[in-house]
Amino acid sequence: MVKNKFILAFALTASILFQNNSYALTEVTLHNSPIVTESNKALLTPIQENVGEPIKSENTDNAQNEESLKQATLTEEKKQRIAQIALPNVAANGAIIIDANTGKVLYEKNADTRFFPASITKILTALLVIENTQLDNRVIYSRSATTNLESGAVTLGLVEGDNISVRDSLYGLLLKSANEVANGLAEHVSGSIPAFANLMNQKARELGCTNSNFTNPSGLNDVNHFTTARDMALIAKACFANETFVQFDSTLNYNFPATIKKPTLTPITMGHKMLNSADTRFYEGIIGGKTGYTSKAKNTLVTCAKRGNTKLITVILNANKTQYEDTKAMLDYGFEVMKIENE
């Protein structure tokens, strides 16, 4: 009995010594049988370091290095192939095309130069209206909204007292590009055009715009009303991520309701020619967009197109009647680049 106690004490002492050197006895054996008691149970528990961590072998490291090298080679190969694609020939003075999913710039030309936007301003107006009021609400058009217009401005002939829903007004804004509609919607949302302009600038900053200033909801000439291709692309990205906006902006034809001056429906048509399959400028995959023109801004154009999982946004500023050709050239380039990127 004494002998057994001596052997157990020796074994436990050895266990403690081994533990101090990061070793542990798995069990104590006496006459081929383990002896485990509550007092020595903790001492007999094996020490496990880095439990749950996979044991890396040299083969594993080599495989990972080979895979990384393979991916780097593929990426470099894609870059070389993309570099061989001819850049779009863009005549407009300001232009950009971005991946609408990531915001990545695929091509730009004077993207941070300030230009007058003209009526592409109205996509920001529409987005703010959608975010800040209900589509079934009624807009009561004021005298200031329907008369505060420059000569030659596009209108739907609304006058003071016209009562039109927000929904109908948005179709008038985005399809007909009616300027008194822009004014009326701005007053409906913010109470006045200056207050709505403040809202426009606040939203632009939230979207990351750094070189724009908006003074009215329509885009009519104002020396302090300007933007850049890059900023407009950010605004368009937010617009085309909004399903309600897309619903309005992808509509080709709509019957605007009766008004005080015109007691019958007024058929209106989307101004962006690349959406219309009957037009020679039609482009497969166009979701929507907005045209613009003033004598100072010249032709401006925002476009969104999608093919497969690739969604692109283009902006054209200060063009001399080349807005559609420029847009097509950028979209062709963008889809070709993204086809390689997505392989």
Q: What are residue 38's phi and psi, to 5 degrees? A: -60, -30
pLDDT confidence of residue 53: 44
User: What tens digit of pLDDT does each residue of 116-168 get?
Assistant: 999 999 999 999 999 999 999 999 999 999 998 998 899 999 999 999 999 99
Report, in angstroms and rounded to the nearest whole number, the Rg of the chain calculated over CA atoms: 34
Locus of tokens 């003074």: 215
Locus of tokens 């020619």: 273
Low-confidence ranges of the chain (pLDDT < 70): 1-74
d(CA 186, CA 214) in angstroms, rounded, equals 13
HSE toward the beta carbon, residue 322, CA cutoff 13 A: 15
* Catalytic residue numbers, as ranges: 119, 122, 177
Note whether 232 and 317 are within 8 A (CB).
Answer: yes
pLDDT confidence of residue 115: 98
pLDDT confidence of residue 71: 63
Distances (CA, A) of 91 to 269, 300, 317: 27, 12, 10
Question: Model's pTM, two decimal places?
Answer: 0.79
Token readout for 2 is 């004494």
Q: What are residue 200's phi and psi, to 5 degrees? A: -60, -45
**DSSP string over 194-262:** HHHHHHHHHHHHHTT--S-B--SSS----TT-BB-HHHHHHHHHHHTT-HHHHHHHT--EEEEPP-SS-
pLDDT confidence of residue 34: 41
Distances (CA, A) of 117 to 52, 161, 217, 241, 299: 59, 30, 11, 21, 9
Query: Counting beta carbons within 10 angstroms of the beta carbon of residue 24, is it exposed (0 to 12), middle (13 to 18) or buried (19 or more)?
Result: middle
pLDDT confidence of residue 268: 98
Amino acid (1-letter code) at residue 123? I
Compute the residue count for the chain.
343
d(CA 187, CA 210) in angstroms, rounded, equals 26
